[in-house]
């Protein structure tokens, strides 16, 4: 009888200890945020961990999952061919052009003679330092006085070369030579005028 009482008291004590242990385990699991499922047969509860969320459960923002960073590859720069600098064209000195024009104009006429002026104009871009003028006079006419040039008469051909003050003609400028001619009707005509 005494032995049965001792066994009965020990059984209650063990039951109390198991119950207290289970209660403490449940409190600890609740505190840690883990759900406790009591095991059958009065054993200590087994902790069941929550399953980790799968990739499909991640909420999406636009087309990228929240909390997920994606790095886009940088586009490599397209190489460009070097551009060669334009080659400098050699400077050219404008060509100087000499264009002489001679015009005869009659001024006065009397019986047996007349007078007139030959104007020589430089229409080029260069200054000339000399000139040569050739006139043809009508038959029977004689150039007997010239001002501004030296006359060389051979038959009907009269060649005029400048005096020192009429030899130089700047571009766009003119000089004049005055003639006095003995003869009848008609007038001299300019045959040729050249520079030099």
CA dihedral in degrees (21, 26, 28, 29; nearest 10)? 140
CATH of domain 100-195: 2.60.40.290
Check pLDDT > 60 for residue 33.
Answer: no
* Residue partners of 157: CB distance under 8 A and separation at least 6: 134, 135, 136, 191
Task: Give bridge partners of residue 47 from the DSSP assignment.
Answer: 36
Q: What is the pTM of this model?
A: 0.52
- Give the three-class secondary structure for 101: strand
Q: What is the pLDDT of residue 47?
A: 43
The better pLDDT of the pair 57, 176 is held by 176
User: Of the candidates 49, 131, 60, which has an alpha carbon nearest to the alpha carbon of residue 98?
Assistant: 131
Give the model confidence (pLDDT) of 91-150 as tens digits: 665 566 669 999 999 999 999 999 999 999 999 999 999 999 999 999 999 999 999 999
């Amino acid at each position: 009888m005494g032995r049965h009482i001792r066994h009965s008291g020990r059984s209650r004590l063990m039951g109390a200890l198991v119950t207290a242990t289970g209660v403490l385990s449940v409190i600890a699991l609740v505190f840690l945020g883990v759900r406790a499922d009591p095991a059958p047969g009065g054993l200590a509860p087994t902790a069941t961990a929550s399953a980790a969320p799968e990739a499909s459960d991640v909420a999406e923002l636009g087309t990228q999952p929240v909390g997920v960073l994606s790095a886009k590859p940088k586009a490599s720069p397209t190489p460009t061919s070097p551009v060669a600098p334009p080659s400098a064209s050699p400077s050219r000195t404008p060509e100087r052009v000499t264009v002489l024009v001679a015009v005869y104009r009659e001024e006065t006429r009397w019986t047996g003679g007349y007078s007139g002026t030959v104007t020589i104009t430089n229409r080029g871009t260069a200054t000339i330092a000399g000139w040569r003028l050739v006139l043809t006079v009508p038959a029977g006419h004689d150039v007997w006085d010239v001002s501004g040039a030296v006359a060389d008469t051979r038959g009907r051909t009269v060649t005029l070369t400048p005096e020192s003050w009429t030899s130089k003609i700047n571009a766009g400028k003119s000089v004049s030579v005055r003639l006095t001619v003995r003869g009848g009707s008609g007038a001299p005509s300019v045959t040729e005028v050249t520079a030099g």
